[in-house]
Amino acid sequence: MQKILSIIESMAHEKNLSVESAMEAFKEALLQTARRLEGEENEYEVEIDYDTQSYHLYKVLTVVENDDSRAEEEPEKYITVDEAKKYDEEIEPGDKIRSEIHLEDYGRTAAANLFQELEYHIQRRIEQEIFEKYKAKVGSIIIGTVSRVDDAGNTYVEIGELKGILSLRNRIKGESFKTGDTLKALLRFVSIDPKYGMHLELTRTAPKFLEELMKREVPEIQDGAVEIISSARIPGERAKVALKADRPDIDPIGAAVGQRGVRINAVSDELCGENIDCIEYSPIPEIFITRALSPAVVQNVKIENPNTAEQKAIVDITADQKAKAIGKSGINIRLASMLTKYQIELNEVEGIVERAPSAESQEKSKDLSALENLFK
């Protein structure tokens, strides 16, 4: 018992736990041991003297008036003034009387109980620190090694002290992993299962995963020069990202795409070839919706219910552009709706979008009269 504080410090260093946290665990262990030996109803206090490397455990009684019924009902917590004056003549109601408990008097039983409690509380502290450590990483990218894949398609990943789980529904359609693969995913949340303990829930299908990948690939996003306003994904197929730059000298689309598309292609490769459309954000909803529906060219956008939760946009579009606006299996219009947070309704109007004539369709003119007029 004389070397107990040195033992606590050694345990803290061994288990990568702060000394302060280990000492708090020691206090809790002392209090719980005292409750086992002296009784659950009593009140106890612990003092640790770091200078002398010693501790003191006390049983505490609160002094009350002589006619206070608590002294009879709960004698393990309260004592009357007359009884307390036997120990100290100057004592008054509200003061506390402390009597020290020496665990050595209880022999090996006390030592065994103390170390059992200490081990338990230190383990809880370690788990709490690990929980807080990974809780702070929720919403960021985690890299780990695949340890196994079960029959249900769930992928188990070794990540530091914990194990991550990438379920089938959180995996991009068509991708597969095998034992030993390095896996990159977004930490969705940290959970504690009564049967399996603490584990990390991972995902590769969330729009936030796309955003975090772009932050890694695009320095302007990481530095805050370019901001991701919103994003929408059909995992493994197509995505749209709305970008904004406050500085006029920065092109948000060019920064995200990179020279010859090197940046956006790196993100796309990580997402199994997902096609990513980068769109410049506009605070004007009509312009933002128009850009979100690209490559379709729209004629007009009218906003309905602008100040309600169910915001709706009526988009006038010609017949030749309607298929582009909808996209394959409705992907384009769905992504545009998710990106802008507007319910988009297409209204077909008459007309056709004028196309610039191609180089092949233009006949070379042999009439040089216009050129001759320049030199007259």
Mean pLDDT of 86-112: 83
> Which is it for strands 54-64 and 78-80: parallel, antiparallel or unpaired?
parallel
Per-residue pLDDT for 369 more than 70?
no
**pLDDT(2) > 60:** no
Q: Is 370 a residue whose pLDDT tops 70?
A: no
**With bands split at pLDDT 50, 70 and 90, how would you rate the model's confidence at 354?**
low
pLDDT given for residue 103 in this prediction: 83
CA 301 to mean position of chain CA atoms: 36
Read off the pLDDT band of 374 (50, 70, 90): very low
Q: What is the mean pLDDT of residues 8-19?
A: 84
In the Cβ-directed half-sphere of 25, how many Cα atoms lie within 13 Å? 28
- pTM value is 0.76
323: how many CB neighbours lie within 10 A of its CB?
12
Q: In the predicted model, is pLDDT for residue 120 greater than 70?
A: yes
| 299-312 pLDDT tens trace | 999 998 777 778 89
pLDDT reported for residue 360: 46
**Which among 46-60, 191-205, 267-281 has the top mean pLDDT?**
267-281
Quote the percentage of the chain above a pLDDT of 70.
Answer: 93
Mean pLDDT of 38-48: 86
As a whole number, mean pLDDT of residues 275-279 equals 95
Q: Determine the average pLDDT of the residues in 149-178.
A: 90
According to the model, what pLDDT value does residue 1 have?
53
What pLDDT shows up at residue 359?
46
**Better-predicted residue by pLDDT, 191 or 4:** 191
Residue showing tokens 């079960």? 150
What band does 362 get if pLDDT is binned at 50, 70 and 90? Answer: very low
Is residue 231 over pLDDT 90? yes
Percentage of residues in the chain having pLDDT higher than 90? 50
C-alpha distance across the termini of the chain, in Å: 113
Helix/strand/coil (H/E/C) assignment for every residue in the chain: CCCHHHHHHHHHHHCCCCHHHHHHHHHHHHHHHHHHHHCCCCEEEEEEECCCCEEEEEEEEEEECCCCCHHHHCCCCEEEHHHHCCCCCCCCCCCEEEEEECHHHHCHHHHHHHHHHHHHHHHHHHHHHHHHHHHCCCCCEEEEEEEEECCCCCEEEEECCEEEEECHHHCCCCCCCCCCCEEEEEEEEEEEECCCEEEEEEECCCHHHHHHHHHHHCHHHHHCCEEEEEEEEECCCEEEEEEEECCCCCCHHHHHHCHHHHHHHHHHHHCCCCEEEEEECCCCHHHHHHHHCCCCCCCEEEEECCCCCCCEEEEEEEHHHHHHHHCHHHHHHHHHHHHHCCEEEEEEECCCCCCCCCCCCCCCCCCCHHHHHHCC
Mean pLDDT in residue range 32-38: 88
| 55-62: average pLDDT | 87
d(Cα 180, Cα 207) in Å, to the nearest integer?
Answer: 26
pLDDT at 373: 53
Residue 160 reports pLDDT greater than 60: yes
Examine the pLDDT at 316 and tell me if it is beyond 80: yes
Average pLDDT value for residue range 2-15: 80
Least confident of 7-16, 170-179, 262-271: 7-16
* More confident site: 137 or 351: 137
Average per-residue pLDDT for the chain: 87
Residue type, 5: L
Question: Which of 86-95, 204-213, 253-262 shows the lowest mean pLDDT across its residues?
Answer: 86-95
Is the pLDDT at 73 greater than 90, yes or no? no
Taking CA atoms, 18 is separated from 7, 47, 51, 329, in Å, by 14, 19, 18, 56
pLDDT band at 161 (very low <50, low <70, confident <90, very high): confident
Q: Where do we find the tokens 């030993």?
A: 180
Which is more confidently placed, 186 or 112? 186
